A and B are shown apart, each in its own frame.
Chain A
Amino acid sequence: MKLAVKEERCSGCRACELVCSMRHFSQPNPKRSAVRVVGNFPAPGRYSLVTCDQCGECAKVCPAEAIREVNGHYEIDRDLCTGCLLCVEECPRGAIFVVGEDQVPFKCVACGECVAYCPRQALVDADGEVAWAGLSARRRAEEASGR
């Protein structure tokens, strides 16, 4: 799964932030989302998305070797992480986050939920593996109506 963005399609709804935090932290909390929506208003009047492109810089800089490549994406090993937060500082996209009293930061692990559920298809899988959930939903609706 290779997350790519089409920012011009983003409506700012933050469903991505909510599905990410629900999936990985079991609570609705945009501050515990690995994807972030940023508004640019009043002008030019559009949204930007902060996403991880799995560049691997974090793994390179981590002094504890706590960040490893797994199936094409990078994950932080909570047991090895020392909480130095160097990865947060060094991430070229600002896509690693830490909240409140947490010791361990978090990042995108390419689960594909945001791709499946972005209502605008502003987040897509460039590898074409994860599809927008609307496609199968529409197929099912068509089958159900007997077409």
Chain B
Amino acid sequence: MASGKLYGYGGRILRVDLGTGAVRTEPTPESLAREYLGGRGFVAKILWDELPVGVEPFSAGNKVVIASGPMAGLFLPGSGKIEMGTKSPATGLYGEGNMGGHLAGELKFAGYDAVIIEGVSPKPCYVFIDDDRVEVRDASKYWGKGCFEAEKMLKEDLGEDFKVATIGPAGENLVVYAVVSHDFGRQVGRTGVGAVLGHMKVKAIAVRGSRGFEVADPAGVLKKGKEMYEACFAKPGFDEWTPYGTAGVTDWVNEICAFPTKNFQTGYYERHKAINGQTLKERICILDKGCTGCPIPCGKYSRFEFSGKTYYVEGPEYETIALMGGNLLLENIEDVAYVNYVADELGLDTISGGSVVAFTLECLEKGVLTPAEVGRELRWGDPEGVAWLLERIARREGIGDVLALGVKKAAERFGKGSERFAMHVKGLEVSGYESRYAPAMMLAYMTADIGAHHNRAWAITYDAAVGQDKTEGKAWKVIELQHIRPLFDALGLCRLQWVEIGFELSHYADMFPLVTGWEYSWEDLLKISERIWNLTRCFNKREKPDFGRVYDLPPLRWMEEPLPSGAGQGRCMPRDKAEKMLDEYYSLRGWDSNGLPTKGKLQELGLGFVLERLKLES
């Protein structure tokens, strides 16, 4: 594959074969960069190209692709995002997570755009990258350690300037929602990338780079970067939003009856003020901690006491306040921070983890499980009980062994109607927005490629703006967001400057040509995002021949159970209404009535190569 000089890129793709320990680099193909940009685009294309059809997620044929993007590691606001993807053990579909911190830049400073990890190591190992020196090293002294503990040990052993990502016991033990942790508080969550690395016996990745990389117009990039920072500095949100970060939205989400409460039984939590952003800031936050280049550091690094001991955790983020706070009826910010810490050290996703714990509590409440079967009396609002259950899950002990598979599979095992309150789409647990009174957000959850995740289309503000009862005429907005937001994930950028403080998208459009030398308009970039969107849809179809509309339905609770109280009382999304939303959505996307891209759409997007595999109708 031809490779011209790439500006804005590290320049190489690193391939690590764990079976043999062999390491290879190849130049980053120019066509891959031009057509898929990087980040999520590289993940999607490489997984499509290289994974055997029907590969088992926990097998030597699966791969983990780690990819930075052309706008990561730059002097501009929010240039710190990296993607990691694989075939998900949680869903059996396309799996991908996104993470801030400093790994995205460091990989490029070392001269790489992506790392493809393949095979299975015979023994615990970690991938060591120091510019051109790449080794698969023994990790036996780190195996079994918590995420933060292992990161600290590796930094002590290698140097504080190494950027380190680790898995914890949850990943080592193949919990399907295990994360990859980095920078003492950032995670690649959702879909279980940490579990696949655990199966591969990869404990960590450690990167240091000193080569830097070239941009097409250095003087232009410096000047534009300064302009971008100045624009951020002048936004009101720069001072107003930053102190609270994502937690700042807690009260508002409760006001609009969208706060996951007691396993999504309701959308409002009476104690929300005790676990909101202001309380976090006042009681436990000691540092605003940021990713590469970020002017509005959302990381709330906290120190708190729990049962007479001092703990440190970056968080809780809004999602954790939602899924482990309101969803478990925890009563104060220290309790939420504690369970956050436990989950983070164990290396499991606080969203899915919170949902699994809530599901278990409701199973106990409804007699689907007995305390004897669970192994302990558990109740809502008890952080120690939550911590106990998270440990059982991470170690695959007792009931934890089934719960480690996620709510969908746990409900299938437990039966007795528990599937009616297993809160997932496609096998991925719903994140922080109770959506019976937010139809656009519900549609976003129904149609996100990896399952019920909000990062693709955070449509909740649109629901609030145009009316929370309206179910028609919202699909266009969800689609628009599904193109804009994941574009950041392909570029290596953080969205929050735009989302939270109104930083204009045109800045990125102006910067892109200065970095890469390619005259792409914002519309060109959005088209690439649409291409990637359709590719991951096709990946899902390839892996699950029955994939289609039926996978896009909301959780049963949302279809069958009206909200019992609050501003959204009485609302739910019956199946026929959900299907109508999907009709509108598929039609606008140029997909057929089963939700699959048409031949015409694929050809329009340069995805004709998909057709051989899928034999789709035109």
Contacts and interface: CB of A to CB of B under 8 A. Distances in A.
Interface stretch (B285-293, B329-337, B470-478): B285-293
Contact of A119 (B218, B232, B286, B301): B232
Interface residues of A, number: 39
Contact of B212 (A28, A41, A46): A28
Contacts of A141: 234
B206 to A, nearest CB: 14
A15 B229 contact: yes
Interface stretch (B219-227, B269-277, B536-544): B219-227
Interface in B171-224: 183-184, 209-215, 218-219, 221-222
Given A14-B293, A22-B221, A27 B213 contact: yes
B296 interface: yes
B230 A137 contact: yes
B152 interface: yes
Contacts of B574: none
Contacts of B226: 19, 116-117, 133
Given A12-B290, A15-B295, A119-B295, A29 B160 contact: no
A136 B226 CA distance: 12
Given A13-B293, A28-B75, A117 B229 contact: yes
B233 A134 contact: yes
A13 B73 contact: no
A22 B295 contact: no
Interface in B280-316: 286-297, 299, 301, 303, 312
A32 interface: yes
A12 B183 CA distance: 10
B289 A119 contact: no
Contact of A11 (B221, B234, B297): B297
A11 B218 contact: no
Contacts of A140: 234
B222 A11 contact: no
Interface string A115-135: 011011000000000001110
Interface string A31-69: 110000011011101100000000000000000000000
Interface of A: 11-15, 18-19, 21-23, 25-32, 38-39, 41-43, 45-46, 99-100, 116-117, 119-120, 132-134, 136-138, 140-141
27 contacts: A11-B297, A11-B299, A12-B289, A15-B75, A15-B294, A15-B295, A18-B75, A18-B225, A19-B225, A22-B75, A23-B222, A27-B218, A28-B212, A28-B213, A29-B211, A29-B213, A30-B109, A31-B210, A39-B183, A41-B184, A46-B287, A119-B295, A132-B233, A133-B229, A133-B230, A136-B230, A137-B231
